[in-house]
Structure 1
Amino acid sequence: MNRTRPTRDVYDAVADPTRRKLLRLLAEAEEMPLHELTAQFQMGRTAVSKHLAILKEADLVADRKVGRETRYRLNAIPLKEIQDWVSFYEGFWKERIVKLNFLLEEQKMKSDVSLDFQFTSSIEQVWNALTDSVMLEKWIWKNDFKPIVGHKFQFRTEPNEWWNGIVDGEVLEVDEPNKLTYTWISAGESTTITWTLKKGSDGTIHLHFDQIGFSEETKAREGAIEGAKYAWTNMCEQLKKVLEEM
């Protein structure tokens, strides 16, 4: 049997919370009489009947007489129009949420400290200064570093009233002589350091330094990140002197 064209817009019909509740009640039951539906609301039969009439006009509800009683049942087919409309915007937002998550992850992975240095020494000499324990002591601190993935080590210097003078670390990546990554854990802060070496066309060695993972508390502390940049810049000035003496 062909249905007559609805006389009311389906969106208008479901806009009212009472009518949405009626649809939910009918969705949970195969069929319900008017008196049972009315019992679910703090309003009279006449008011409920008016809401049911609007749902009927949108072809969302069908009714039938059983003796003197009118029974109602849900016709969910028109709701597909709403589902299709919502699905379109769901895809719209999913795409943007994916992009947002990507941007947030990208932002998260950006270095908290990023520095670049150039040296005229060979790439092998720079790599050796980054990985040899004796060389490291000349421009950072005493240490037991070894360029072996999984090796745990310490840098040690004179303690003071704010710091015990110890940095704990673990080697994460060794790609001689191009890349070195290790953790840098000190004073409750756990970060990751990456050194990347590239040889320029003129033979200059470009050394890029990244340090990521500072806590939000540290980032919010005035001068904390700038202080880290200053410290590493000074250390790499020492590295330059060590390389020039080789």
Structure 2
Amino acid sequence: MKKDSILVERTFNVPASKVWSALTDISDMKQWYFDIEKFEPKVGFKFDFMGGPNEDTQYLHLCEVTEVIENEKLAYTWRYDNYPGNSLVCWQLIDRGEKTIVRLTHTDIPSLAEGSPDFSKENFSEGWNYILHTSLKEYLENDES
């Protein structure tokens, strides 16, 4: 993996189908990820959402699905409206029966960092670690989800 990439990995105590649903079902996504209005796990599908480091600083994220292998892999571009750069987020699911290893990689981050200090590798690393180790973990391993 390149130095300009982020890799975050975690094993969840749920089957891959449940993780896949969390990554691709809009009602699931809204509970742990971002408030995305429309999403379809289809190559070429474009989606966007607002997000940022705090309520006062929000950015329009523009994404396009580039790869889909059901219950195994989801990848999409990740860039910001009116800012330079384009990166790639890839979710890989490794099925271990009643457990699933989730490997998230985010590549080409330096192209984004030129646009704002908010888009630094350190900030992305902190964000993705929070998403995998806190918000997605709590969502997936909550008995009610």
**Same fold (TM > 0.5):** yes
SS class of match (1:240): helix
* In structure 2, C-alpha distance between the alignment counterparts of 1:164 and 1:227, rounded to whole Å: 14
Identity %: 25
Q: CA deviation at 1:114?
A: 0.7
Work out whether residues 184 and 192 of structure 1, in 8 Å CA contact, stay in contact via their aligned partners in 2.
yes
SS class of match (2:141): helix
Q: What TM-score does the superposition give when structure 2 sets the normalisation length?
A: 0.80
Q: Going by fraction, where is strand more abundant, 1 or 2?
A: 2
Work out whether residues 111 and 210 of structure 1, in 8 Å CA contact, stay in contact via their aligned partners in 2.
no
* In structure 2, C-alpha distance between the alignment counterparts of 1:217 and 1:173, rounded to whole Å: 21
Residue identity matched to 2:100:
I
- Residue 190, structure 1, aligned to residue 83, structure 2: no
* In structure 2, C-alpha distance between the alignment counterparts of 1:141 and 1:151, rounded to whole Å: 17
- The match for 2:125 among 220, 226, 229 is 229
* 1:211-240: CA deviation from partner (whole Å, max 9, x where unpaired): 011226838x7x921221111111121111
Change in CA separation of 1:181 and 1:166 when aligned onto 2, cut-off 3 Å? same
Change in CA separation of 1:197 and 1:232 when aligned onto 2, cut-off 3 Å? same
1:55: which partner in 2?
none
* In structure 2, C-alpha distance between the alignment counterparts of 1:205 and 1:174, rounded to whole Å: 17
Work out whether residues 109 and 120 of structure 2, in 8 Å CA contact, stay in contact via their aligned partners in 1.
no
* In structure 2, C-alpha distance between the alignment counterparts of 1:156 and 1:122, rounded to whole Å: 30
Q: Rg: which structure is higher?
A: 1
1:242: which partner in 2?
139
- The match for 1:211 among 103, 106, 109 is 106
* 1:1-38: CA deviation from partner (whole Å, max 9, x where unpaired): xxxxxxxxxxxxxxxxxxxxxxxxxxxxxxxxxxxxxx
Q: CA deviation at 1:137?
A: 1.0
Change in CA separation of 1:218 and 1:157 when aligned onto 2, cut-off 3 Å? closer
1:58: which partner in 2?
none
1:148: which partner in 2?
42
Higher RCO structure (Cα 8 Å, ≥6 apart): 2
Change in CA separation of 1:172 and 1:217 when aligned onto 2, cut-off 3 Å? closer
Pairwise mapping of residues 53-92 of structure 1 onto structure 2 (< 5 A)?
A: none
Q: CA deviation at 1:111?
A: 5.8
- Residue 167, structure 1, aligned to residue 61, structure 2: yes
* In structure 1, C-alpha distance between the alignment counterparts of 2:87 and 2:39, rounded to whole Å: 17
- The match for 1:136 among 18, 21, 29 is 29
- Residue 124, structure 1, aligned to residue 17, structure 2: yes
Q: CA deviation at 1:203?
A: 3.6
Work out whether residues 157 and 165 of structure 1, in 8 Å CA contact, stay in contact via their aligned partners in 2.
yes
SS class of match (1:153): strand
* In structure 1, C-alpha distance between the alignment counterparts of 2:18 and 2:71, rounded to whole Å: 9
